[in-house]
């Protein structure tokens, strides 16, 4: 939008210059043309600054998106590790239960053997 406005200003400026030079410009008209030229140059400079800011912000946004994707990947890895840790904890608990059952069975066998007559 700003580019169209700048182009329009340049066209108007060009027409003013042509019109003014063909009939002999006055000092006021020349000053007005100089003011218009300064305004156009200021608008172009502002446009260039804005364009650079937009490019810088896009670059920063891309970097943030890359970091977010990296962190998301790390989070998935941590979630996977947590799931695996939970499975390991459940397996350890089952092993403890089985060990307790084995010890109880072993104690029952020892008691039964001690009550058998010795030959």
Q: State residue 72's pLDDT score.
A: 95
Q: How far apart are CA 32 and CA 60, in angstroms?
A: 42
Which pair of structure tokens corresponds to residue 64?
A: 């943030």
How much is the average pLDDT of 52-61?
A: 96
- Structure pTM? 0.49
Other beta carbons less than 10 A from residue 30's beta carbon: 13
The string of pLDDT tens digits covering residues 34-44 is 888 998 889 89
Give the torsion sign (CA, 67, 70, 76, 78): negative
User: Does the pLDDT value for residue 25 go beyond 80?
Assistant: no
Residue 1 has pLDDT above 60, yes or no: no
Angle (nearest 5°) at CA 45 between 56 and 39 = 150
53, two tokens: 């800011």
């Amino acid at each position: 939008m700003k580019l169209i406005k700048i182009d329009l200003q340049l066209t108007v400026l060009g027409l003013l210059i042509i019109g003014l030079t063909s009939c002999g410009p006055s000092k006021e008209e020349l000053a007005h043309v100089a003011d218009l030229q300064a305004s156009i140059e200021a608008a172009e400079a502002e446009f260039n600054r804005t364009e650079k800011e937009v490019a810088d912000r896009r670059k920063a946004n891309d970097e943030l998106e890359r970091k977010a994707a990296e962190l998301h990947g790390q989070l998935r890895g941590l979630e996977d590790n947590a799931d695996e840790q939970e499975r390991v904890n459940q397996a350890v608990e089952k092993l403890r239960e089985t060990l307790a059952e084995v010890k109880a069975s072993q104690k029952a066998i020892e008691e039964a053997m001690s009550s058998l007559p010795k030959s």
